[in-house]
Structure 1
Amino acid sequence: MPFDHNDHYHRLLLRQVPRNCATALDVGCGTGQFARRLAHLGIEVDAIDPSEEAIAEARALSGRTTDDRNPRFQQADVTEVELPKAHYDFISCLASIHHMPFDTVAALRDALAPGGILVILGCYPEKTRLDWAWSLAAVPINAAARPAVAVKDRLRPASAATRREGAKAPVRRPAIPLAEIRREAAVLLPGYNIRRLLFWRYLLVFRNHG
């Protein structure tokens, strides 16, 4: 029964998009669902992912829509490309930052335009009693949500069902504990905010005041 924890938080992430946002970058875009949601807001979106299969699926799914507001999908590793300086009003990383060195956020920070916002929906391993307490709290909610999502999917119109992604992005277990993420973010993203979320995630938000 499908229940995508990243998709669950899309609305929360969209609330972080700054007003008058014109340009956005989605890092580790996978099959492009969140990038498409940004593009449908009228934002010019660049979306990158190192997976050739995921990018091919993202392009195919975007090609099925009649909306001409589609992201520009590119197969690329963000650690190996040179991002434009002070360019993007919004940068998102959904469950992708743990696939790369955390200090990659410095390049993302530098790519933000003045007033731009970086949001990271991140994963972390359970290392402390508090980590395990949050994980245990999520288990019954997760169990209840899965059949509810399955029922909702069955009630969708056929046209909506055809838009479900077939390809899956590569999965890697997170290795950096939340305490270490906080320490590194304090140096690289001064003034950041971070909070735990259910379903084994955290939300980090940084605004470029430069």
Structure 2
Amino acid sequence: MPFDHNDHYHRLMLRQMPPGCRTALDVGCGTGRFARLLAGRGIEVDGIDASAKVIETARAASSSLPPRHRPDFRQADATRAQLPPGRYDFISCLAALHHMPFGTVTALRDALAPGGVLAVLGCYRETSPADRAWSLAAVPVNAAARIAVAAREAARPHGGGRDPGPPSAKAPVRRPEATLEEIRREAAVPLPGATLRRLLFWRYLLVFRRPGTDG
């Protein structure tokens, strides 16, 4: 089935961009679908991923785009990369932070320009009754969404509309270890004032806005 939980939240992630956004970084970009959405809005986009294979695939999938709409993809481990301080108006991280130490958000925070936004679409470990209730509620919605998206894709002319992404590259899968409450506590110090909310499809949204001036 073509339904993808991370893709489902692309529009929500796009709404987190600050006004006048000119530069963006997509961390753990995979095959680059979200980075291409950003670049298609006239934003200068860097995409990084630790996997050389998915970076190669992201570049191939973007090769036919006009240069101004083509992200700059490079292989880099976000936990070790030397990110330029104060460079980006928007930093996105989709279902990738649980593959890294949570403290990586400190480097991402420092790479934000004043007024810039860090938006994390993350995964969490379910432990509480509330977690299980949300998970149970998501099951029938998830099934209905898969059926609806599959029907829409089947009716769409070949090659039209949605960016299908390269079928050959698979993102690595890792079960999240931190609970939602642990993530909330860990974010409090490096990302003061950040908001965190639970989303339906086993995801959360963490948003941090850097103050408009360094002071």
- Could you say which TM-score interval applies, normalised by the shorter chain? over 0.9
SS at match of 2:197: strand
Q: Cα distance 1:162–1:192, how it changes in 2: closer, same or farther (>3 A)?
A: closer
1:41-56 matched pairs, under 5 angstroms: 41-56=41-56
Q: How does 1:44-193 map to 2 (within 5 A)?
A: 44-66=44-66, 68-160=68-160, 163-166=164-167, 167-193=169-195
Distance 1:187 1:88 in 2: 21
Structure 1 length as normaliser, TM-score? 0.96
Give the counterpart letter for 1:23 in structure 2: T
- Three-state SS of the structure 1 residue aligned to 2:114 is strand
Could you list the runs of 5+ residues in structure 1 that have no partner in the other structure?
Answer: none
- Residue 200 of structure 2 is aligned to residue 198 of structure 1: yes
The answer to whether the Cα contact below 8 Å between 2:16 and 2:117 also exists between their aligned partners in 1 is: yes
The Cα shift of 1:156 comes to: 2.0
- Aligned-pair CA distance for 1:65: 3.1
Equivalent position SS for 1:203: strand
Of all paired residues, the percent bearing the same amino acid is 65
Greater mean deviation of Cα atoms: 33-42 or 163-172: 163-172
Tell me the C-alpha RMSD between the 2 structures.
1.3
Measure, in 2, the Cα distance between the counterparts of 1:163 and 1:119.
23
Aligned length: 210
- Contact 1:51–1:170 (CA<8 Å) still a contact in 2? no
TM superposition outliers: structure 1 runs of 4+ over 6 Å: none
Post-superposition CA distance 1:165-201 (Å, at most 9, x none): 2111111111111111000111110000010000100
Counterparts in 2 of 1:155 and 1:66: CA distance versus 1, 3 Å: farther
- The letter for the 2-side match of 1:173 is R
List alignment gaps of at least 5 residues for structure 2.
none
Question: Residues 39-94 of structure 1: CA distance to partner in whole angstroms, max 9, x if unpaired?
Answer: 01110000000111211111111013346411000011011111000110000000
Structure 1's 12 and 162: CA in aligned 2 closer, same or farther, altered over 3 A?
closer
| Shift in alpha-carbon separation, 1:90–1:114, aligned structure 2, 3 A | same
Q: Secondary structure at the match of 1:158?
A: coil
